[in-house]
Amino acid sequence: MRRDLSVPALAVTVLLWASAFVAIRALGDAFSPGSLTLGRVLVGALVLTLIARPTRATMPTGRPLLLVVIYGVVWFGIYNIALNAGEQHLDAGTAALVVNVAPALVALFAGFVLGEGFPKPLLVGIAVAFSGVALIALGTRDPDAVETASTTGVVLCLVAAVTYAIGTLTQKPALAHVKPVMSVWLGCVVGAIVCLPFAPHLFRELGDATTSDVLWLVYLGVFPTAIGFSTWSYALARITSGQAASTTYLVPVVATGIAWAILDETPAALALVGGVLSLAGVAITRIRPHRKVVAEA
């Protein structure tokens, strides 16, 4: 019997994804959002080619392939571009707080797509979560906020949250037909194809980048992308989408700590309050109402 390593796999994902928010913030002046996305997924695809060793026999077809293309475009492409752009307007910790309303969106979309309904805790939790996002948006006007903080960043990170949710819900069924590492390799390849128009910008910006910038870019491709998404996919194949997404509650906490240590930046006080409120709302959406058991006569 194989041992289930979902919990340690998700712990690795949380740590690496949290570090990605900091790496993206550190690279904001060196790379534009599109070129940073292309560079990241190209590095990820290259590393995973050595691990996944893709062959014609391992390629999905039909509906599984369609699902792969959807999450490749939405998660590995649009999500990264929106997040990269958002972090040009928000500090790493605040961006992570906004993006992590995604688990609530996963539950909401599941109500529509999977017919799971809309229990009261879901509706209340979503209202609470987005009240927190509104506070975060107000926090961008706080004198203690970083200089670049703006509502634009909040909106872009909300777009990232929506695409994160869509990516989770489309990758989950695909994993029934595609191995976790292969699913990430395919996602990176699709994301790279989507971002090919940014290739000239990437080559130009690489020419002007410092060694430190290039190392941060490689780090993003190898660790948060190739490794972080592989451990995420491993766990997602074994537990529900909601359970997997809920573990990312910890990402903003870890991201804020790393950003404070490396970049010397922390979210403004009002953004922190809003972030706590948002995460509380996400937690509420995971509450399942007790079913009344009627005793038979």
DSSP labels for 172-229? HHHTTTS-HHHHHHHHHHHHHHHTGGGHHHHHHHHHH--HHHHHHHHHHIIIIIIIHH
**Confidence at residue 144, expressed as pLDDT on a 0 to 100 scale:** 61
pLDDT over 50 at 75, yes or no = yes
- Give the pLDDT of residue 116: 58
pLDDT at 102: 83
pTM above threshold 0.75: yes
Please say if the pLDDT value at position 284 is more than 70.
yes
pLDDT tens digits for 92-143? 888 988 898 887 788 777 777 766 566 787 778 888 888 888 877 776 666 6
Cα torsion angle, 65, 66, 70, 71, sign: negative
pLDDT at 215 over 50: yes
Distance between CA 254 and CA 110 in Å, rounded?
27
More confidently predicted of 229 and 123: 229
Taking only the tens place, the pLDDT of each residue in 157-179 is 999 999 999 998 899 899 999 99
